[in-house]
Amino acid sequence: MSASHDESILHGDSKYLVRFQDYLGEFVYGGIDGSITTFAVVAGATGADLSSAIVLILGFANIFADGFAMSIGAYLATRSAQHNYDKHKTVEYWEVDNLPDVERQEIREIYQKKGFDGELLEQIVEVICSDRDRWVDVMMKDELHMIRERRSAIAIGATTFASFILVGLIPLAIYVWDYLFDFEGDLFFTACLLTSIAFIIVGFLKSFVTQTNKIKGVLETLLLGAAAASVAYYVGYFLDYIIN
C-alpha cells in the first residue's frame, strides 16, 4: 500500500473526526437530557412500585416523545438563528450600498476602539471598504457581534435525537433484558449502575465541550442525574403512598 494511499485514509478519518467534533456538543447535551429524564422516569416508577412493564411503557414513551421534541427544538433554534443572521446581513448590504459614508465612519470608529489611529487607521478602513463582502462581514462581526451558524440544522437535530435515544435507552436496558430473558438481580440497582456509567462517559465528553476539568465534568453530570432521580423516586413514592 502506497504512502499517498495511507495519507488519504488518515485524511478521510480526520474529516469524520472533525465532523463529529463539530456536533459533539449536541451529542453530549442530548445524551445528558436523554439519560437523566429517562432515569428519572425509571426512578419515579420504582418509587411508586410500578411493574417492569409499566416502566418500559413510560420509559419508551418518554424517550421518543421527549427526544423528538428536543431535536425539533434544536433544529428550529438553529434555523431561526441562521434566518436572523441572513436578515441582518441583508440590511447591512443595503446600508453599505445606500449609506456608504455612514458605514465607512462606523468602520473607522470600530477600529479606533481597537487602538488604531492616523494613517494606519485610514489604510485599514480603505482596505475593508474596498471589498463589499468584506465590508459587510466586518460589520456583522464587529458591529452586530453576529456569526452565522454554518452547521446543518438537520444534522444538529438528528444528532440531538440520536444521542437522546441511544443514551436514554441505557437506564431501560436491564428492564428490556428482564422482559425478554428474565433477570434474577435487583433491576433498579442495576439500572442505577448502568446509568452511572453512562453519566461518567457523557460527563467526560462534556468536559471537552465546555473546556473544563474532566473530573468536574463527570461529577457534575453524576450529581445532576442523582438529584433528578432522587426527586422522581420520592415523588413517585409519595404519590403511591397518597393514592394507595
Indicate whether 7 belongs to any domain: no
Q: Could you tell me if 42 and 104 lie in one domain?
A: no
Q: Average pLDDT, stretch 174-201?
A: 90
pLDDT band for position 7 (cuts 50, 70, 90): very low
Compute the CA torsion angle 202, 208, 223, 77 (nearest 10 deg): -80
Please indicate, yes or no, whether residues 233 and 157 belong to a single structural domain of this protein. yes
Q: Is residue 238 part of a domain?
A: yes
Residues 163 and 68 placed together within one structural domain of the fold:
yes
- Last residue in a domain, options 99, 115, 143: 143
pLDDT at 160: 95
Question: Are residues 236 and 178 part of one domain?
Answer: yes
Is the same domain home to 136 and 109? yes
Indicate whether 129 and 164 sit together in one domain. no
Q: Is the pTM of this model over 0.85?
A: no
Q: Is residue 12 part of a domain?
A: no
What is the span of the domain harbouring residue 137?
87-143
Asked if 161 and 238 sit in the same domain, the reply is yes
SS3 letters across the chain: CCHHHHHHHHHHHHHHHHHHHHCHHHHHHHHHHHHHHHHHHHHHHHHCCCCHHHHHHHHHHHHHHHHHHHHHHHHHHHHHHHHHHHHHHHHHHHHHHHCHHHHHHHHHHHHHHCCCCHHHHHHHHHHHHCCHHHHHHHHHHHHCCCCCCCCCHHHHHHHHHHHHHHHHCHHHHHHHHHHHHCCCCCHHHHHHHHHHHHHHHHHHHHHHHHCCCHHHHHHHHHHHHHHHHHHHHHHHHHHHHHHC
Number of domains in the chain: 2
Least confident of 2-16, 27-41, 166-180, 226-240: 2-16
5 lies in some domain:
no
Query: Poorest-confidence range of 11-25, 152-166, 193-207?
Result: 11-25
- 14 part of a folded domain: no
